[in-house]
Structure 1
Amino acid sequence: MAAFGSTEFEFQRFGRTVQVPDADIAKVMYYLDCVCTVIEYNDNNIRRYRNYSNWRNMSDEED
């Protein structure tokens, strides 16, 4: 018995130009933002960890 299947994927190229601050925590936050964008994760409780432009506003407990 033979089975045939088809799997199709659709890709869309997208991007934007950003400036990431030269701080390790900001770079990690940028990476997290990229991953969350790709997997379409938009939960409110992680939003502050994705805001790499305002990395200085993180408390000592958060960073």
Structure 2
Amino acid sequence: MVEKLEYAGYPNNYRVSAGNLEAIVTADYGPRVIRFGFKGGPNELGELPHLSMDTPYGQWRIRGGH
């Protein structure tokens, strides 16, 4: 099943699920897989939304995923 959803503050994401597994792919920066794991379980990919750094070009954030 594929469905569009908001995730991590970004509106253009797609959840792909099969049985108890799910992956979320963002179209806002990427494409990039930003979540993979069991439904309701932890993300097996990195998620560090609180980490950021100011640069001369604006704020840089670690987006995580793969």
Give the number of the structure whose residues are more often helix, by fraction.
1
TM-score by length of 1: 0.25
Higher RCO structure (Cα 8 Å, ≥6 apart): 1
Superposition TM-score, scaled by structure 2 size? 0.25
